[in-house]
Amino acid sequence: MTGRSVAVIISGFFTVAMAYGIRYGYGMLLPEMLPEWGISKAQAGIVYTAYFITYTIFTPLLGALSDRFDNRVILASFTTILACGALLMPLADGVVTAGLFFSVAGLGHAACWAPVMALVQRWVPEKRKGMVLSIVGMGVGLSIPLWSFLLPIIVAAYDWRAGWGCMGISGMGVAVLNAVLVRNPPVAAADKTAIRGNPFTGNETAYRELFRQKPLWIIGFSYLMIGFNVMIPFSFVSVYAREALLLSYAAATRFVAVIATVGIFSQLTLGLLSDIFGRIRMLICCAIFMAVGCLGASLSASAWALYASMAVYGMGYGAVWPLYAAAASDFFPKNRAGSVVGIWTVFVGGGFVVAPVLGGWVIDTTGSYFWTFLMGTTSGVVSALLLTPMIRGVMRDA
């Protein structure tokens, strides 16, 4: 790999790390924000949903644009927007303002996954794709434990508003990094020059062809189920540990750190194995780990049981994102990877949008976290079942 490809990988790593740190920072700060805002779990879920609505709407557009426009401009601009959304959160005083400000962050995050993973894939050799995408995805696994360690310290010294401020400042730093390091690959640059007169020429036909492909729909619906599954622990495990297990705020945030830390090992192992045994097989393994982790959480009556459950969950969670991204160029032309990941993000976004509100409503209604975590188990099992026919040779595997 060239020095420029390494620079793009570094930029992608920090972009993903920053974006997911802010995304899941909401769940980590929620135990401190809830008493001041005086809102229900369902209302807290609405704020999260606002984030994912803008994220889901704009990700397909930005995924398509990343196939044709200057990625440096896209990534630098939208990481700035994401940072601004985080910096606005200290001004929030309830559902309406928090939802509005966090939706700005969701808009910024729309450029921090599909365009990043598509760009990295174009810069690296095919035989190293799974490994490199897992390395970029490790940004998530490293940033979440880091913020789970820093946020309790920041909150203890100041308050939850300072936590948002620190995350927003980190986002501004990543925006500068993207402006300096990101470049389009030479082939992509030539393609863009050839269609400069109308950058959307041919898109309608290309999308019609994509929508006719069964892998797009099967993997998409599997991704939707994973999206629902992910938002259950990341929305509620810290609050569950605080309210049901009566742990301190600092201890409650550590469960998210366990998921992310184990996730690093998952990326290094399942990401590498996916280059050998195929993306679909490893995605099924991820879904099973995540289903079992949620089941364990639903039955956990102690901190140690919850730690063990989140460790199992992390084995699936860590690798699932880069594996779905890598599957895009396994089943579709490489120059359409950004568009495919963008389309799949609409599916996963559906799960993101529904899970926090529905999960919060179930907790408010039943007074228990059991059924909400059990919904996470069900969605993980369904995700695995949807992918199973692809292993049996119905369609080409990686």
What is the structure's pLDDT at 189? 46
Phi-psi region of 173 (alpha: psi -120 to 50; beta: other; left: phi over 0): alpha
What is the structure's pLDDT at 192? 46
Decide: helix, strand or coil at residue 15: helix
Burial string for 327-360 (b: 16+ CB within 10 Å, else e) reads: bbbbbbebbbbbbbbbbbbbbbbbbbbbbbbbbb
Helices 303-331 and 249-277 cross at an angle (nearest 10°) of 40
Q: How far, rounded to the nearest angstrom, does the alpha carbon of residue 385 sit from its chain's CA centroid? A: 22
What is the structure's pLDDT at 335? 66
What is the structure's pLDDT at 130? 67
**Distance between CA atoms of residues 142 and 264, nearest Å:** 7
Provide the terminal-to-terminal Cα distance of the chain, rounded to the nearest Å.
22
Which of the residues in the chain have pLDDT under 50? 188-201, 394-398
What is the structure's pLDDT at 199? 41
**DSSP letters spanning 132-187:** HHHHHHHHHHHHHHHHHHHHHHHHHHS-HHHHHHHHHHHHHHHHHHHHHH----HH
- Percent of the chain at pLDDT > 90 equals 51
Q: How far, rounded to the nearest angstrom, does the alpha carbon of residue 10 sit from its chain's CA centroid? A: 18
Residues 224, 388 contacting (CB under 8 angstroms)? no
For residue 126, give both structure tokens: 């095919």
For residue 27, give both structure tokens: 């769940």
Q: Look-up: residue for tokens 């999260």?
A: 48
- Number of neighbours of residue 368 by Cβ within 10 angstroms: 13
Residue 308: how many CA atoms within 13 Å on its side-chain side? 10
What is the structure's pLDDT at 207? 62
**Distance between CA atoms of residues 18 and 292, nearest Å:** 28
**Distance between CA atoms of residues 244 and 266, nearest Å:** 29
Give the angle subtended at the CA of 8 by the CAs of 6 and 10, to the nearest 5°: 70
Residues 391, 397 contacting (CB under 8 angstroms)? yes
- H or E stretch covering 111: none
Those residues whose C-beta lies under 8 Å from the C-beta of residue 328, and which sit 6 or more positions away, are 117, 118, 121, 336, 337, 340, 341, 344
What is the structure's pLDDT at 198? 43
**Distance between CA atoms of residues 72 and 38, nearest Å:** 41
What is the structure's pLDDT at 67? 67
**What's the fold here for domain 3-389?**
Growth Hormone; Chain: A; (1.20.1250)
- Number of neighbours of residue 289 by Cβ within 10 angstroms: 25
The domains of the chain are located at 3-389
90-134 pLDDT tens trace: 999 889 999 999 999 999 998 888 788 878 878 887 777 767 877
Mean pLDDT of the chain: 86
